[in-house]
Amino acid sequence: MTAFLEDNHYTTLNLGPTHPATHGIFQNVLTMDGEEIIAAEQTIGYIHRAFEKIAEHRPYYQITPLTDRLNYCSAPINNLGYHMAVEKLIGIRSNKRVDYMRIILMELARITDHLICNSVIGVDSGALTGFVYVFQERERVYEIYEEVSGARLTTNMGRIGGFERDFSPSAIRKIREFLDHLPKVLKEFEKLLMRNRIFMDRTIGVGGISAERALNYGFTGPNLRAAGVDYDVRVMNPYSSYDDFDFQIPVGTQGDTYDRFCVRQEEVWQSLKLIRNALDNLPEGDYHMEVPEFYLPPKEEVYDKMEALIWHFKIVMGEVNVPVGEIYHSVEAGNGELGFYLVSDGARAPYRLHFRRPCFVYYQAFPEMIKGGVLSDAILTMSSMNVIAGELDA
Amino acid sequence: MWSVFFRVICVLIVGDVTTLILYKVLLASGILILSLVVAMYSTLMERKMAAFFQDRLGPNRAGPWGILQPLADGIKLFFKEEFMPNTADKFLYILGPALTMFIALLTSAVIPWGPALVVNGTEYPLQIADVNIGILYIFAILSIGVYGIMIGGWASNNKYALLGAIRASSQMISYELGMGLSIVAVVMMTGSLSLGEIVDQQAGFNWNIWYQPLGFLIFLICAFAETNRAPFDLPECETELVGGYHTEYSSMKLGFYLFAEYINMFISGAVLATLYLGGYHFPFEDRLGLSVNGHAIIGFLVFFLKITFFGFLFIWVRWTLPRFRYDQLMKLGWKTLIPLAIFNVMITGLVILLRG
């Protein structure tokens, strides 16, 4: 803040809260010397909805819809990640079919997240058309979500202990269609931007961060990998049977906007491979685990059998016995390591639920990353870090 | 008013020189209306083309194929609230868009739209003024063009608008140099500053583009920059500067700015076609056995086709490429285009010298 007060010949520019490039709502106060950024100060909290506090008053199964609204570009990862965290607390071991179904959905979500982020880099650099191409593909993924969960954006997917229903034949057909169709569009999109001279000039060496600084800040996900650190939760701390699969973790070298773009792009290809593998090897079995205390019984049984009716009533009212404990579970979300720190004192609601939100970490480094650059660089850096306001503010 | 009317009557009765004046007035208003209508429909073309590139449908609600969309847009703009910031400089705030529009419409005066029509033995040239310094005139008008944007951006008293105005002025001044130097080569080759003469030297398929490919390319790139079109749309790029120099404008004042851009696009296409693509000339025109007037009409249509081609090019590029950064734009202008243009001038001079 001091720079603003001392040097009166600098301009102060309010980038946000409502600015076309701040996708979501957050403010940057830039001190500018002409077009050059001398200092930056960021403000967060414009869409803070106190999810962590709300979660302390809700039964476990009612917290899933809150996680939808963290990173709304890849809601299923948040949903399923939260379910896995609760299952870890309760001590349920998931079966393979549920694991593989989760992998398919989480990788689909990762693809949509990366597609949006990369195409928005295009939009912010002035190339609108690629955005529209990949948005059609996102639409296909949303149709798959619709088949699986009934919703599109805020999916509220799955239940604690599995899925509410199995993949329908049409869901599997849609996934296969998507797998066949996306590579063509993705190649076209890459042709538009990846080797485009203007785009490369705009992004190479822009908004870079060294691996050391990134680690100091606590970067994870594509932004850290772009800086050259091969940290991926899926490999380092495998969950949901990710260790059954063979896939590569792309790593960048410079940590700049172009590397972030390329890392995300390569991750989409890897995700496609993962989905194909998981779908081909989808094991037979039940689409949920045998946990009557947490997983709602089928409706027919609720009407006929007393036990099922009792469980149904208890689960819906949130009167289930959750063991006392404290766990941390993290998943590789679209943006990086999404962690759930869950403390239970045995009551119907968590004693404390903290979301470790990767965007929150990235945004702290934003002023450092844009300092010395020009205004256009700041915009591209922001969109390439994929700071999602919902996740930033929670 | 009455004196003008009286004079017009006199002109009609009395004779030749005065008929010419009347004819010029008619021609000028005709071209004015043409520019406006073309600019209106370029917006539709732009949106339809963008939709085509992006696998969308584009506007299709107002009239068949969205044909009334520009009218609907115009009416909407007229009925929007006229907003003026409290801190704005009132006079300059209004002057900005007016100047931009006025200057955009001025350029068309020296462009030869077609071969002369002949009625009852009298020649009616399809050019408002065949001044012998036509190129200098265009250049002068283009240079004033930056004032509209600069004044508007500064008078809004908004930081984004100011940044946009600064970008616009530096961009337009830098790219005028490259543009001017590439024209110098054409002038050296043709030995004339009159647009009519330059066009007539390109009769048939003897177009300047075959002799000046580099100059054409430089001029084309500079034309993109002069019209503030992508990839040089930095003054108004919405992802960085919200609306650029017209952030604070609304209603028809905003409409003027947007409209002027399309008129500029149209005029740039016309200048490009005139200087490099043979204006209204087309291959084998002398072998088709056309009457004088038929030739004039087909020539005009061909000229229009060439302008449309450039319009399409402008739109195509806009919806394909990302935009430059401010410093890269300056680097391209000063370190690439101007040296290349000087090189082009030198080569042209050398060739002229060697051929005697």
Candidates A19, A20, A199; nearest CB to B322:
A199
Burial class (CB in 10 A: 0-12, 13-18, 19+), A275: buried
Cα–Cα distance measured from residue A67 to residue A158, given in angstroms and rounded to the nearest whole number: 12
Q: Indicate if the pLDDT at residue B122 is higher than 80.
A: no
User: What is chain B's length?
Assistant: 356
Burial class (CB in 10 A: 0-12, 13-18, 19+), A371: middle
**Contact indicator for A79, A104 with CB cutoff of 8 Å:** no
Q: Which positions in chain A have a beta carbon within 8 angstroms of at least one beta carbon in chain B?
A: 11, 13, 19-21, 34-35, 122-129, 132-133, 136, 192-193, 196, 198-199, 201-202, 374-377, 379
Cα–Cα distance measured from residue A150 to residue A147, given in angstroms and rounded to the nearest whole number: 6
SS3 B203: coil
Respond yes or no on whether the N-terminal peptide bond of residue B231 is cis (omega within 30° of 0): yes
Quote the pLDDT of residue B201.
82
Contacts of A136 in chain B (CB under 8 A): 55
B277-331 pLDDT, tens digit per residue, is 888 888 877 777 777 778 888 888 888 899 999 989 998 988 888 888 888 888 8
Q: Give ranges for CATH 1.10.645.10 in chain A.
A: 51-393
Cα–Cα distance measured from residue A28 to residue A32, given in angstroms and rounded to the nearest whole number: 12
Confidence category of residue B15, pLDDT binned at 50, 70, 90: low
Contacts with B29 (C-beta within 8 Å, 6 or more apart), sequence order: none
Q: Indicate if the pLDDT at residue A349 is higher than 60.
A: yes
CA distances in angstroms from A37 to A12, A15, A40, A362, B326, listed in the order given: 10, 12, 7, 19, 13
In which residue are the tokens 């503010």 written?
Answer: A393
Quote the pLDDT of residue B268.
87
Inter-chain CB proximity A20 and B166 less than 8 Å: no
Confidence category of residue A178, pLDDT binned at 50, 70, 90: very high
Predicted TM-score (pTM) of the model is 0.86
SS3 A333: coil
Quote the pLDDT of residue B12.
55
**Contact indicator for A32, A3 with CB cutoff of 8 Å:** no
Candidates A35, A126, A132; nearest CB to B54:
A132
Q: What's the average model confidence in pLDDT over A343-364?
A: 89
Q: Indicate if the pLDDT at residue A234 is higher than 80.
A: yes
Q: Which domain holds residue B287?
A: 2-355
In total, the C-beta contacts within 8 angstroms joining chain A to chain B are 72
> C-alpha angle A53/A58/A63, rounded to 5°?
85
Inter-chain CB proximity B325 and A201 less than 8 Å: yes
CB contact burial A70-107 (16+ within 10 A = b; e otherwise)? bbbbbbbbbbbbbbbbbbbbbebebbebbbbbbbbbbb
Q: What's the average model confidence in pLDDT over A238-264?
A: 89
A105-153 pLDDT, tens digit per residue, is 999 999 999 999 999 888 888 888 888 888 888 999 999 999 988 888 8
Q: What's the average model confidence in pLDDT over B28-44?
A: 87
Q: Indicate if the pLDDT at residue A1 is higher than 50.
A: no
Tell me what ipTM this predicted complex has. 0.81
Cα–Cα distance measured from residue A383 to residue A318, given in angstroms and rounded to the nearest whole number: 40
Alpha carbon of B54: minimum distance to chain A alpha carbons (Å): 6
Quote the pLDDT of residue B229.
82
Confidence category of residue B196, pLDDT binned at 50, 70, 90: confident
Q: Indicate if the pLDDT at residue A317 is higher than 80.
A: yes
Backbone φ and ψ of A38, nearest 5°: -90, -45
Percent of chain B with pLDDT over 90: 2
Q: What's the average model confidence in pLDDT over A288-292?
A: 84
Q: What's the average model confidence in pLDDT over B168-191?
A: 86
Q: Indicate if the pLDDT at residue B11 is higher than 60.
A: no
Token readout for B130 is 């065949």
Confidence category of residue A7, pLDDT binned at 50, 70, 90: low
Q: What's the average model confidence in pLDDT over B87-112?
A: 86
3-state DSSP of A120-154? HHHHHCCCCHHHHHHHHHHHHHHHHHHHHHCCCCC
Helix axes B69-79, B16-53, angle to 10 degrees: 100
Q: Indicate if the pLDDT at residue A3 is higher than 60.
A: no
Cα–Cα distance measured from residue A259 to residue A239, given in angstroms and rounded to the nearest whole number: 27
* Chain A residue at shortest CA distance from B329: A198
Contacts of B328 in chain A (CB under 8 A): 201-202
Q: How far is CA A323 from the centre of its chain?
A: 28
> Which of B325, B330, B332, B335 is the mutation pick for testing A, counting most A CBs within 10 A?
B325
> Which of B52, B169, B240, B328 is the mutation pick for testing A, counting most A CBs within 10 A?
B240
Token readout for A78 is 């948040």
**Contact indicator for B315, B50 with CB cutoff of 8 Å:** yes
Confidence category of residue B141, pLDDT binned at 50, 70, 90: confident
Average pLDDT, chain B: 83
* Chain A residue at shortest CA distance from B324: A198
Quote the pLDDT of residue A301.
87
Average pLDDT, chain A: 87
Q: Indicate if the pLDDT at residue A6 is higher than 70.
A: no
Instruction: Give the residues across from A29 on adjacent strands.
Output: A14, A41
Inter-chain CB proximity A132 and B327 less than 8 Å: no
CA distances in angstroms from B116 to B15, B119, B125, B126, listed in the order given: 20, 10, 4, 6
> Which of B46, B170, B228, B239 is the mutation pick for testing A, counting most A CBs within 10 A?
B239
SS3 B133: coil
> Which of A119, A128, A203 is the mutation pick for testing B, counting most B CBs within 10 A?
A128
Domain A51-393 -> CATH class: mainly alpha
Quote the pLDDT of residue A271.
92
Confidence category of residue A25, pLDDT binned at 50, 70, 90: confident
Domain count, chain B: 1
Candidates B55, B319, B328; nearest CB to A128:
B319
B73-89 pLDDT, tens digit per residue, is 889 988 888 888 888 88
Candidates A11, A20, A376; nearest CB to B159:
A11
